[in-house]
Amino acid sequence: MFNPAILLSYFGGIGRALSTRNYRVYWTGQVVMVQGFWIYKIASGWLMFELTHSPAWLGALGSAYMLPILFLGPFGGAVADRFGYRRCALVMVGSGAIMALITATLVGQGLITPLLLVFLTLVQGVLFAFEFPARQALFPNLVARKDMPAAVALNSTTFHSSAFVGPLIGGVLLAVSGAGAAFAANAFCLLWMMGAIYLIPSPPNLSDRLAAKKASGIVNDLKAGLRYTKDHIDIRLLILLSLTAALLIRHYLDFLPGFAGEIFDRDEEGLAAMTSAAGIGAMIFASIIAFRGRTKGLTTFLVIGQTGAALSLIAFTLTDNFYLGLFALVLVGGFLVSAATSAQSLIQHSVDDNYRARVISINVSLAVGAPAFSALIIGGLAEIYGLQLAVAGPAVLSIAIFLPVGLLLRKRRHEIEAEKV
């Protein structure tokens, strides 16, 4: 009888992770779900640009999704640690599907406005703030610790590969059927992920962990996670680099509709090509890390990736040639995912199981939520100085932070990358 585990064993850490049934179910669900994320991002961004033609509104839309993650993400991790990763993920993913259907209905009825679109995106951000830490803390229970770097890299490869496929699907849906169909497709993708999570059993020893938490409240759980982070310098440095990239580089995606329409004079298909270009680079770089399947060397990938992402983004803002811009975006996406995947893998590798969801939620809250502020600020600056200068300036500043912190991190790479028992 054919045994897929034998075939998968030839693919190193990725193969070992996928040979585990529960992780394989989780991963197939994520493959579909992340397509929906990019479809939503393309549809909401282009819809906002069509409604307003304003970089400030684009910044407000990006902030609406990310602000809840910044303020609620740490509580999301504490809630997941307290009530169970699987249960929280199921509830939040299902609620996100309902919100996507509501958005699709409003768009289809012609009732959508810029302010209403911002509000609906804000609600999705609140749900994501509780869903993402739970889902991220769930999957390490599905693979062996030695395969975790490969699993994290495969998750990242899946997400960023979808940045190639998802925008293309979103662009076709926008051109053929409109934004309402794109939001409905996002709802379907979320329901698919909900089904995958349902098929995964609860993590082992869950009842014992939850019983141990009954004596403490969620706020105390959160404080314990913050203390744990504060007491571990390596985790602090990793989170600091993630925060810097989030504040000064990662916001570029929110302004691609403006670059497509104003700088390159392209339509929604041009926007889809630009987002897909970043996805291609991300897919290639994340695949390299995934196939390596080991922790050693990830600190170097992190430092080079963040510096390379900043330089590539500066190059992107300096050209008005569409095809040169696409090439620069390939590099931005590749270097940025190399850094993000390395940082996430190192954090997953370093954190004790009992604190994983809380530490992940702190990192996610800062790395994903911090661009909410920079998107608002950069959107306002773009109205005055133009998109190119407003996006390039923070990227220049980021290099001044990456280099000294990165060098300090490299000096500690042996402690950070050491095998945990």
**Average pLDDT of adjacent 10-residue blocks, the chain of 421 residues:** 51 69 89 92 92 91 85 77 83 95 95 96 91 79 73 73 81 89 96 94 59 57 77 81 87 90 89 89 80 73 90 95 96 90 78 73 75 85 91 92 81 66 47
Query: CA of 298: how far to CAs of 150, 186, 339, in Å?
Result: 12, 33, 9
* 12 three-state secondary structure: helix
Q: Is 323 exposed, middle or buried (0-12, 13-18, 19+ CB in 10 A)?
A: exposed
Write the CB contacts of 252 (distance below 8 Å, at least 6 apart in sequence). Answer: 313, 316, 332, 391
d(CA 158, CA 397): 30
Asked whether 76 and 129 are in contact (CB, 8 A), the reply is yes
- CATH T-level assignment (fold) for domain 4-417: Growth Hormone; Chain: A; (1.20.1250)
Residue 201, SS3? coil
CB neighbour list of residue 21: distance below 8 Å, 6 or more residues apart: none
Of 198, 150, 160, which Cα lies nearest the Cα of 298?
150
Q: In the structure encoding, which two tokens stand for residue 410, read together?
A: 């490299």
Residue 147 CA to residue 293 CA, distance in Å, equals: 7
Q: 3-class SS at 420?
A: coil
Number of Cβ within 10 Å of residue 281's Cβ equals: 28
At 421 the pLDDT is 47
pLDDT of amino acid 7 = 47
Q: At what angle do helices 21-52 and 148-176 cross, to 10 degrees?
A: 40
Return left, alpha or beta for 297; rule: phi > 0 is left, psi -120 to 50 is alpha, else beta: left
CB 362 within 8 A of CB 226: yes
Domain definitions of the chain by residue range: 4-417
- How would you classify residue 217: left for phi > 0, otherwise alpha for psi between -120 and 50, otherwise beta? beta
Q: At how many degrees (to 10) do helices 55-83 and 371-385 cross?
A: 180
**Interacting residues of 95 by C-beta distance below 8 A, sequence separation 6+:** 127
Non-local (6+) Cβ contacts of 90 within 8 A are 194, 197, 198
CA distance 165 to 156: 14
Question: Rounded distance, CA 257 to CA 364, Å?
Answer: 25
φ, ψ dihedrals at 311, nearest 5°: -65, -40
What is the helix (H) or strand (E) element at residue 401, kind and residue range?
helix 387-411
The percent of the chain in helix, strand and coil, each rounded to the nearest 5, is: 85, 0, 15
What pLDDT is recorded for position 293?
Answer: 62
Instruction: Identify which of 304, 199, 320 has the alpha carbon closest to the alpha carbon of residue 241.
Output: 304
Residues 281 and 331 sit within 8 Å (Cβ to Cβ): yes
